[in-house]
Structure 1
Amino acid sequence: MSGLTAIKAKALKEPGRYTDSRGLMLYVKESGSKSWVLRLTVNGKRRDIGLGSFEDVTLADARSKADELRAIARSGKDPLREKEEQKAESQPLTFREAAEAFHEERKAGWRNTKHRAQWLSSLEAYAYPFIGDLPVADVDGPAIRDLLAKIWLSKPETAQRVKQRVGAVLDWA
């Protein structure tokens, strides 16, 4: 039997934890804000998993999310770890991350140790300050032109290599 109804949940003003069923709780804070939390035990460890604020998540949605997370736990997986992995997958790949992954993947094929070291260090010095933290999808021609403009006249050979390396990373990503 469920402990809460939508009307009861909306009317709650007193700070505290109010249980619905099977580990689903509504937390009411001193400030008056409310949030849904699911308490589970996974592999002997207690997990409190936030399901969202009362303003954004209805009681029915909280129950549905709780059911999904319980199913994950029953399969032997940790719902928090699964949630973190999904969040990480949804984060866009930055140019820096793509360049480092590309370098790691390809460096074994480069016989010259000096080239191996210079490949990433040139991007660290000249590209990362401009586009390192941008999602790969947002790196465009003007951004590349701006980073190359700083070195094109003073270090044309380096600029050419940085341009080629940026292009290789973007093609890979």
Structure 2
Amino acid sequence: MSMTETDAAADREIVTTRVFPFSREVVFSAWSDPGQLALWWGPQGFTNTFQVFEFRSDGDWRFIMHGPDGAEYPNHSVFRVIRAPERIVFDHLSTHWFRVIADFEAVGPDQTRLTFRMQFETVAECERVKVFAVECNEQNFDRLAALLAANSIGSSAQ
């Protein structure tokens, strides 16, 4: 790949990274278990109703995100790659197409670096979404961290 192709790919990508103080199996489980995923997916104040969750290659993921203002956002994605507990790749097909690549990297005992990439077809589409997606992705990770912490407290109390 030439430098021009690499630069162009970077211009069409939003990347969010965070280290979570949990094993990658635990973090991956919060993505692969629809019961957990529905609790934290989306920005602050959003809730989800999952209609279809086929966690396998070429499996459908259909759900409605309910905004804090009462608006509903139908979503349809298709899982492309599932490599537990390392990687999840899916294509978001609703409203505008983009690919999500989530990499789960063990970085120490019971620590996971989660790298979340949103890849768009054009720089213009990436720029349009970046205006709100960067903050929304951070809120999404905040909600994931809160769920993992609550699950950890709940499991240690038993």
Q: Which has the larger radius of gyration?
A: 1
Task: Compute the TM-score of the two structures, normalised by the length of structure 2.
Answer: 0.28
Task: Compute the TM-score of the two structures, normalised by the length of structure 1.
Answer: 0.27
Larger fraction in helix: 1
